[in-house]
């Protein structure tokens, strides 16, 4: 088994395909551990990790915190709402103050694209990007790839569709990079206004027809319509979006195969996906949440292993 | 120094015979006993041990498990080589069981310490015994001693003991200088 080449997890774009493979392999071991009666191992008992969140998050923050606790790391949580950031402190000062308390690793979510890389260049600590604006969300892409592998096996040659708001979605960007590195074929589908122009240069197919996309793919990742990131109106009405892009059982019943259905959450039930489909057997939404803890344990474990404790 | 053979295949068969009989003497029908091999090479040794028990007492089917101790080691971040994990396969509760931990080489005792932690994190066994094929005596860093021993050897820190297995089973146990290895 090898060490990661990457020294931080900032995004999938600059991550070697081999590193992705190593993370997913370790995630397998951690999934076994979190399904034991005693779900905790003492491996990281002398490591301290700060979760620094400048943007709201429930699932990701809980998932990171659980991953850290299952590995016996010490955890401190920090959210911008209750911090000195409000008093005008800079990002580097904030984090250096946390590191001065002997913290080894920082998990950060920030609204600015590139914030994680900026931090990694300026502070002495391991950095994990838990989402930076509309840029990347690497652990989500890794857990989606892990969940897909569980259902489809090796992803090389598999057809994966990502549906919804691609422009404002860091999940979509990280997923595309990750799937392409694993050899999968990727198609994005959504309204013209929500698909960025550079998709084709990334080797991704583009469609505006959900039925055609569903007929093509082996698995579909339904993204949430992110109303908080849309200052302008990108589609005529919610009703229009639902008519064209909602995943529902009528659409699925027209197919002669069982698709694997993913959703990064939180779900807008009745908008991009119906309740019936979200709760169906084909949906792996809750597997994704479980796998998220295992994948994050793998990332934290592998980065911690690079730190020399001698 | 040329690599020194500690046990060849013939000698191992004799040793394995004795160890299997000792276990049968103590554990009888193995009703409440489980033999747990420590991943990776201890697991291979446990396979050979169970095959030997079944050869001596046809019909006996001791419960076998495999235990990976990677996440319980005390040298995380202090090793030169990256860690490698293997699967833990215990499809029975360890609660109340008489456990025989099995490993091929006992050296500092740290792996066995980790194995006991890993085991106890899965439940409370009634007893835990330790069987090793090769005991590198006088090298312990923790107060751990085997219950059953195949062969005791004297060795120094710059030496390495390897038990080699091929697809048919045991090949040999050898002692060599680490410098030769590099």
pLDDT tens-digit readout, B144-176: 999 999 999 999 888 889 888 877 777 788 888
Check CB contact of B77 with chain A, cutoff 8 Å: yes
Joined tokens for residue A196: 């960025």
Name the catalytic one among A31, A70, A109, A126.
A109
Q: Are strands A126-132 and A74-79 parallel, antiparallel or unpaired?
A: unpaired
Question: Is A239 considered catalytic here?
Answer: no
Q: What pLDDT does residue A82 have?
A: 60
CB pairs under 8 A between A and B: 50
> What global pTM score does this model have?
0.89
Give the residue from chain A lying closest to B83, CA to CA. Answer: A1
* Residue A46 with chain B: CB contacts under 8 Å: 77
Q: What pLDDT does residue A91 have?
A: 85
The ipTM assigned to this model is 0.78
Q: What is the CATH number of the domain that holds A98?
A: 3.40.50.1370
DSSP of B14-75: HHHHHHHHHHHHHHTT-TTEEEEEETTHHHHHHHHHHHHHHHHSTT---EEEEE--GGG-S-
Report CB contact under 8 Å: B76, A44.
yes
A211 and A101 housed in the same domain: no
Q: Examine residue A2 and state whether it is found in any structural domain, yes or no.
A: no
Report CB contact under 8 Å: B121, A2.
no
Q: What is the mean pLDDT of residues B50-60?
A: 94
A115 and A244 housed in the same domain: no
Q: Examine residue A6 and state whether it is found in any structural domain, yes or no.
A: no
The CATH number given to B4-24+33-75+86-181 is 3.40.50.2020
Report CB contact under 8 Å: B76, A305.
yes
A158 and A269 housed in the same domain: yes
Q: Examine residue A7 and state whether it is found in any structural domain, yes or no.
A: no
At A60, give phi and psi (nearest 5°).
-65, -45
Q: Which of B83, B85, B121 sits opposite A38 (nearest CB)?
A: B121
- A81: pLDDT strictly greater than 70: no
A187 and A246 housed in the same domain: yes
Q: Are strands A126-132 and A105-110 parallel, antiparallel or unpaired?
A: parallel
Specify the number of domains making up chain A: 2
Q: Examine residue A8 and state whether it is found in any structural domain, yes or no.
A: no
Name the catalytic one among A135, A137, A158, A263.
A137
For residues A222-249, one letter each, b for 16 or more C-beta atoms within 10 angstroms of the residue's C-beta and e for the rest, the string is: bbbbbeeeeeeebbeeeeebbebbbbee
A271 and A300 housed in the same domain: no
Give the CA count within 13 Å in the CB-facing half-sphere of A109.
24
Q: What range defines the domain where residue A297 resides?
A: 17-136+289-305
Minimal C-alpha gap between A39 and chain B (Å): 9
The gap from C-alpha B171 to its chain's centroid, in whole angstroms, comes to 16
- The rounded distance, in Å, linking the Cα atoms of B117 and B106 is 17
Give the three-class secondary structure for A105: strand
pLDDT digits 0-9 by tens, B102-134:
999 999 999 999 999 999 988 899 999 999 999
Q: What is the mean pLDDT of residues A46-73?
A: 94
pLDDT digits 0-9 by tens, A133-148:
999 999 999 999 999 9
Q: Examine residue A209 and state whether it is found in any structural domain, yes or no.
A: yes
Q: With bands split at pLDDT 50, 70 and 90, how would you rate the model's confidence at A274?
A: very high
Question: Is A229 considered catalytic here?
Answer: no
Q: Examine residue A93 and state whether it is found in any structural domain, yes or no.
A: yes
Q: Are strands B4-7 and B169-177 parallel, antiparallel or unpaired?
A: antiparallel
Q: What is the mean pLDDT of residues A45-68?
A: 93
- B182: pLDDT strictly greater than 50: no
pLDDT digits 0-9 by tens, A177-227:
999 999 999 999 999 999 998 898 989 999 999 999 999 999 999 998 876
Give bridge partners of residue B130 from the DSSP assignment: B101
Q: Which of B73, B77, B117 sits opposite A307 (nearest CB)?
A: B77
Check CB contact of B9 with chain A, cutoff 8 Å: no
Q: Examine residue A23 and state whether it is found in any structural domain, yes or no.
A: yes
Question: Is A58 considered catalytic here?
Answer: no
Q: Which of B71, B84, B87 sits opposite A41 (nearest CB)?
A: B71
Q: What pLDDT does residue A231 have?
A: 55
Question: Is A87 considered catalytic here?
Answer: yes
Do A16 and A5 meet the contact criterion of CB atoms below 8 Å apart? yes
A126 and A158 housed in the same domain: no
Joined tokens for residue A299: 């990332």
Q: With bands split at pLDDT 50, 70 and 90, how would you rate the model's confidence at A229?
A: low
Q: Examine residue A11 and state whether it is found in any structural domain, yes or no.
A: no
More confident residue, B181 or A293: A293
A116 and A227 housed in the same domain: no
pLDDT digits 0-9 by tens, A148-179:
999 999 999 999 999 999 998 999 999 999 99
- A108: pLDDT strictly greater than 50: yes
Mean pLDDT, chain A, rounded, equals 92
Name the catalytic one among A60, A94, A167, A213.
A60
Give the residue from chain A lying closest to B86, CA to CA. Answer: A29
- The rounded distance, in Å, linking the Cα atoms of A226 and A194 is 11
Minimal C-alpha gap between B181 and chain A (Å): 19
Question: Is A59 considered catalytic here?
Answer: yes
* Residue A27 with chain B: CB contacts under 8 Å: none
């Amino acid at each position: 088994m090898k060490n990661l080449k990457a020294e931080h997890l900032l995004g999938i774009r600059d991550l070697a395909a081999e590193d992705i493979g190593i993370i997913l392999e370790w995630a397998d071991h951690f999934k076994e551990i979190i399904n034991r009666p005693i779900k905790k191992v003492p491996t990281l008992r002398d490591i301290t990790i700060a979760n620094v969140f400048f943007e709201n998050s429930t699932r990701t923050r809980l998932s990171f915190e659980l991953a850290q606790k299952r590995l016996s790391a010490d955890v401190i949580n920090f959210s911008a709402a209750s911090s000195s950031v409000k008093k005008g402190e800079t990002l580097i000062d904030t984090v250096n103050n946390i590191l001065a308390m002997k913290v080894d690793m920082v998990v950060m979510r920030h609204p600015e694209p590139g914030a994680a890389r900026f931090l990694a260049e300026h502070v002495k600590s391991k950095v994990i990007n838990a989402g930076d604006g509309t840029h990347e969300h690497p652990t989500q892409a890794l857990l989606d790839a892990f969940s897909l592998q569980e259902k489809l096996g090796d992803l090389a040659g598999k057809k994966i569709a990502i549906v919804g708001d691609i422009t404002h979605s860091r999940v979509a960007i990280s997923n595309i990079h990750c799937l392409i590195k694993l050899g999968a074929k990727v198609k994005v589908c959504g309204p013209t206004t929500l698909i960025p122009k550079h998709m084709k240069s990334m080797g991704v197919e583009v469609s505006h027809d959900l039925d055609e996309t569903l007929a093509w793919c082996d698995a579909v990742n339904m993204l949430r319509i992110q109303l908080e990131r849309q200052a302008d109106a990108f589609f005529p009405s919610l009703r229009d979006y639902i008519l064209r892009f909602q995943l529902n059982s009528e659409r699925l019943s027209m197919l002669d195969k069982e698709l694997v259905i993913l959703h990064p959450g939180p779900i807008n039930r009745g908008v991009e996906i119906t309740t019936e489909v979200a709760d169906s057997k084909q949906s792996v939404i809750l597997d994704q949440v479980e796998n998220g803890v295992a994948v994050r344990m793998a990332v934290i474990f592998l980065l911690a292993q690079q730190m020399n404790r001698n | 120094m040329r690599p020194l053979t500690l046990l060849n295949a013939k000698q191992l068969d004799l040793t394995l015979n004795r160890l299997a009989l000792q276990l049968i003497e103590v554990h009888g029908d193995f009703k409440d006993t489980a033999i747990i091999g420590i991943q990776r090479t201890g697991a291979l040794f446990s396979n050979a041990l169970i095959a030997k028990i079944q050869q001596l007492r046809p019909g006996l089917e001791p419960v076998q498990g495999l235990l990976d101790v990677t996440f319980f080691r005390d040298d995380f971040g202090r090793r030169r080589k990256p860690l490698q994990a293997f699967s833990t396969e215990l499809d029975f509760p360890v609660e109340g069981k008489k456990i025989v931990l099995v490993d091929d080489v006992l050296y500092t005792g740290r792996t066995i310490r980790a194995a006991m932690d890993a085991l106890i994190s899965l439940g409370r066994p009634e007893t835990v015994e330790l069987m090793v094929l090769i005991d590198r005596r006088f090298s312990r860093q923790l107060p751990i001693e085997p219950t059953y021993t195949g062969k005791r050897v004297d060795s120094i820190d710059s030496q390495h003991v390897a038990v080699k297995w091929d697809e048919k089973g045991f090949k040999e146990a050898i002692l060599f200088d680490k410098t030769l290895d590099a």
